[in-house]
Amino acid sequence: MKLLNEILGTRYPIIQGGMANIATGEFAAACSNAGALGLIGSGGMNADTLRENIRRCKELTDRPFGVNIMLMHPQADAFADIVVEEGVRVVTTGAGNPGKYIAKWKAAGITVIPVVAAAVLARHLEKLGVDAIIAEGTESGGHVGEMTTMALVPQVVDAVNLPVIAAGGIADGRQMAAALALGACGVQVGTCLLVSRECPIHENYKAALLKAKDSDTIVTGRIGGTPVRVLKNKMSREYVRQEKAGADKMELEKFTLGSLRRAVFEGDTDTGSLMAGQVSGMLHEIRPVADIVADLNDGAFARIAEMQQLCGNR
Ligand SMILES: Cc1cc2nc3c(=O)[nH]c(=O)nc-3n(C[C@H](O)[C@H](O)[C@H](O)COP(=O)(O)O)c2cc1C
């Protein structure tokens, strides 16, 4: 099996997950320079700002980087063209089926890697000609599915004949080693990079992450069908309370409208949406991206070596 770094031309088999309103060209370049694959999160951008961010990223790194496109974005069609025009090498997609873009992207030599939360979608996407699959468990921050990384990854590995990247609940070498043990060729991480020095979120957001304990995340929108994992705060607790009480979608929409931007740019930790995964409780300090990804990789290496001894003699 080829490891993800051999597939992508990166130093480490690690992808920095696309994060709307957070993963700018500058942040993606910092992650690529640190040896991971940096991804520009196009979620909060428009066609002009996406193009600017791609160009900025190219100025700041000569390493491979990519773009994450959320397929429900109103400008997804325009984004699909921009990545071709700007010579982007890797595209990851979320929230839907990228089928209609694949021929165009493949003709441009782009490596296409959709994110899935269930094996059935992975199987379907394989037939459409994608290059690899990111299997993202519900431990992850942001939009989530139902299945855990532990249950999902091996089932996606068995379902497709493609490289599978594990995401959700990975913040140190032990978890990365576990992902490789499940059959993944590498990992995608998001939450652990939020507390990097280079991550452009408000310091209040970072402080809330550093304070969080293991059980401090909650999923809003599970009942309504748009599940998003965030830190518990006034907004998310009230959302879930009203959701359980049967509030309608429009009522609930009021809580989330602009809430990620409020958290990221204004540092509003009461009514902002502090998207974060269950590994938040493992984050204890602000560190350079380079240290975070090197520790992930080296920690996995060390853990795998230790595990051979754990198995004893056969
Ligand atoms: C704040 C935040 C925003 C995110 N936004 C996006 C996004 O715009 N598109 C996407 O495909 N995934 C998004 N994700 C998911 C990440 O790309 C990644 O798959 C996930 O964070 C991995 O799980 P982890 O949080 O446990 O590390 C987001 C995650 C976080 C924490």
* Nearest-CA residue for atom 5 of ligand 1: 19
In the three-class reduction of DSSP (H, G, I as helix; E, B as strand; rest coil), residue 127 is classed as helix
With a 6 Å cutoff on the Cβ, whether 18 touches ligand 1 is yes
**Residue 182, both tokens:** 């499940």
With a 6 Å cutoff on the Cβ, whether 292 touches ligand 1 is no
Bridge partners (DSSP) listed for residue 40:
67
Q: Please tell me the predicted confidence (pLDDT) of residue 250.
A: 83
- Which atom of ligand 1 is the closest one to the Cα of 95? 11
CA 99 to CA 36: how far, in whole Å? 27
233-250 b/e with 16+ CB inside 10 Å = b? bebbeebbebbeeebeee
3-state helix, strand, coil in the chain (%, to 5): 45, 15, 35
Q: Please tell me the predicted confidence (pLDDT) of residue 193.
A: 98
Q: Please tell me the predicted confidence (pLDDT) of residue 257.
A: 83
Q: Please tell me the predicted confidence (pLDDT) of residue 314.
A: 66
Task: Return the closest-CA partner of residue 174 out of 279, 312, 35, 275.
Answer: 279
Residues of the chain with pLDDT under 70: 312-314
Q: Separation of 103 CA from ligand 1 center, angstroms?
A: 26
Q: Separation of 306 CA from ligand 1 center, angstroms?
A: 30
How far apart, in Å, are the Cα atoms of 110 and each of 28, 95, 100, 209?
A: 17, 19, 14, 34
Q: Separation of 187 CA from ligand 1 center, angstroms?
A: 12
In the three-class reduction of DSSP (H, G, I as helix; E, B as strand; rest coil), residue 202 is classed as coil
How far apart, in Å, are the Cα atoms of 139 and each of 151, 194, 207?
A: 12, 15, 20
How far apart, in Å, are the Cα atoms of 167 and each of 107, 141, 145, 236?
A: 28, 10, 12, 23
With a 6 Å cutoff on the Cβ, whether 20 touches ligand 1 is yes
CA 219 to chain centre: 16
With a 6 Å cutoff on the Cβ, whether 163 touches ligand 1 is no
Domains of the chain with bracketed CATH? 4-200+283-310 (3.20.20.70), 203-279 (no CATH)
How far apart, in Å, are the Cα atoms of 136 and each of 15, 40, 118, 147, 157?
A: 12, 18, 8, 8, 12
Bridge partners (DSSP) listed for residue 92:
68, 113
- Which atom of ligand 1 is the closest one to the Cα of 19? 5
With a 6 Å cutoff on the Cβ, whether 114 touches ligand 1 is no
CA 255 to CA 237: how far, in whole Å? 11
Q: Separation of 141 CA from ligand 1 center, angstroms?
A: 5
CA dihedral 177, 178, 183, 184 (to 10 degrees): -60
CA 280 to chain centre: 14
pTM: 0.97
**Residue 241, both tokens:** 């309370």
With a 6 Å cutoff on the Cβ, whether 169 touches ligand 1 is yes
Q: Please tell me the predicted confidence (pLDDT) of residue 313.
A: 67
